[in-house]
Amino acid sequence: MKRILTTVVLTCAASSAYAYPVKPVRMVVAQAAGGNADLVARAVAMKMGEALKQQFVVDNRPGGAGVIGAETVARAVPDGYTLLLASSAFGVNPSLTKLPYDPINGFAPITLVAFAPNLLVVHPAVPVKTVKDLIELAKAKPGQLNFGSSGSGGSPHLAGELFKYLAKVDMVHVPYKGAAPAIVDLVAGQIQLSFASMPSAIGQMRSGKLRGVAVTSAKRSAAVPELPTIAESGLPDFETAAWQGMFGPAKLAPNIVTLLNREASRAVHSPDVRDRLAVEGGEPVGNSPTEFAAYVKREINRWSTVVKATGMKAG
């Protein structure tokens, strides 16, 4: 009788584990509504909800460069009903501030959802057409070139700091409260360049108000195939992009991680989501949990080196 009861209990437990999800899933986005991470999260959440016959609700928790949203998920019950859609700041925050969670062991990596390169753009009056030109100009005028960004700790700022570090040049970072005011000042000639997000700069580049020089990703972007990468233009170790990745709390059941990984990958590679990403210059990824975990560790280690070398500070 005891053996029968044990079998029944184990069978029920297994059945319960695989009957996921049975209620709405909260996807915490560590960014304000309307940002790139939010747009990606909503597109993927809708597709995952359709596939799993359950609602995936986006919950925006901006603040602290993503720390507030990440902490919410790190402290959540690891039952699969609270997930995190984090952005690039997740990889640099450990080097900039004391965190209320362990960025490596405090989460269950699910997948790198998508990434989008930044555009290196300059004001047309700046005598720069190539990365080599920019390096030469920056070395000739140390501390005299200003690069604008959407704010400290964002991907445009990180790209600029990585450029300074690898090219061994001195440029001044000018943080703005968002991408739009940075681009307005760049078009007006108040600053000289920016490693801007694709959506904020591509229209001004195509209209001739800004000059495109390169993209920050490891390979050329399908959105602007005419622009070389910074890596192929003389800085072979340069690679950075605005990325979004999905995590669960630590100790999330492996079968739930596998299910979420599969459905998130399917969602991001669906034609309508892929097309929506392309409009923003983004590309789908959907790699394995192991690959994503390795990617996050590389990001944390790389930015630790850059932060120490450049003296970057939290915004």
pLDDT digits (tens), the chain, 315 positions: 445 444 443 444 344 445 899 999 999 998 888 777 888 899 999 999 999 999 999 999 988 888 999 999 999 999 999 999 998 889 999 998 899 999 999 999 999 999 889 999 999 999 999 999 999 999 999 999 999 998 887 889 989 999 999 999 999 999 998 888 999 999 999 999 999 988 889 999 999 999 999 999 989 998 899 999 999 999 998 999 889 999 999 999 999 999 999 999 999 999 999 988 887 788 899 999 999 999 999 999 999 998 888 887 766
Helix (H) or strand (E) holding 60: strand 56-60
Instruction: Give, in order, the Cα–Cα distances in Å from 47 to each of 124, 234, 269, 302.
Output: 42, 40, 10, 33
Answer with the one of 233, 263, 291 that is the final residue of a domain. Answer: 233
Q: Note whether 253 and 275 are same-domain residues.
A: yes
Per the listing, tokens 């392309």 go with: 278
pLDDT at 2: 45
Picking from 93, 109, 82, the residue whose alpha carbon sits closest to that of residue 23 is 82
Q: Note whether 112 and 123 are same-domain residues.
A: no
Q: Count of domains in the chain? A: 2
Q: Note whether 73 and 33 are same-domain residues.
A: yes
Q: Note whether 125 and 184 are same-domain residues.
A: yes
User: Is residue 214 domain-resident?
Assistant: yes
Neighbours of 285 (CB within 10 A): 20
User: Is residue 100 domain-resident?
Assistant: yes
pLDDT at 10: 42
Q: Note whether 36 and 85 are same-domain residues.
A: yes
Q: Note whether 110 and 132 are same-domain residues.
A: no
Q: Note whether 105 and 173 are same-domain residues.
A: no
User: Is residue 193 domain-resident?
Assistant: yes
Q: Note whether 141 and 167 are same-domain residues.
A: yes
CATH number for the domain harbouring residue 267: 3.40.190.150
**Which structural domain, as residue segments, surrounds residue 65?**
22-116+242-310
Q: Note whether 55 and 130 are same-domain residues.
A: no
| 266-290 pLDDT per residue, tens | 999 999 999 888 877 888 999 999 9
d(CA 248, CA 183): 35
User: Is residue 41 domain-resident?
Assistant: yes
Q: Note whether 132 and 211 are same-domain residues.
A: yes
d(CA 80, CA 257): 8
pLDDT at 18: 59
User: Is residue 15 domain-resident?
Assistant: no
User: Is residue 179 domain-resident?
Assistant: yes
pLDDT at 106: 97
For residue 75 the two structure tokens come to 């402290």
Q: Note whether 210 and 249 are same-domain residues.
A: no
Q: Note whether 94 and 130 are same-domain residues.
A: no
User: Is residue 72 domain-resident?
Assistant: yes
User: Is residue 167 domain-resident?
Assistant: yes
CATH number for the domain harbouring residue 146: 3.40.190.10
| 72-122 pLDDT per residue, tens | 999 999 999 999 999 888 999 999 889 999 999 999 999 999 988 999 999
Answer with the one of 233, 254, 270 that is the final residue of a domain. Answer: 233
Buried b (16+ CB within 10 A) or exposed e, 263-276: bbbebbebeebbeb
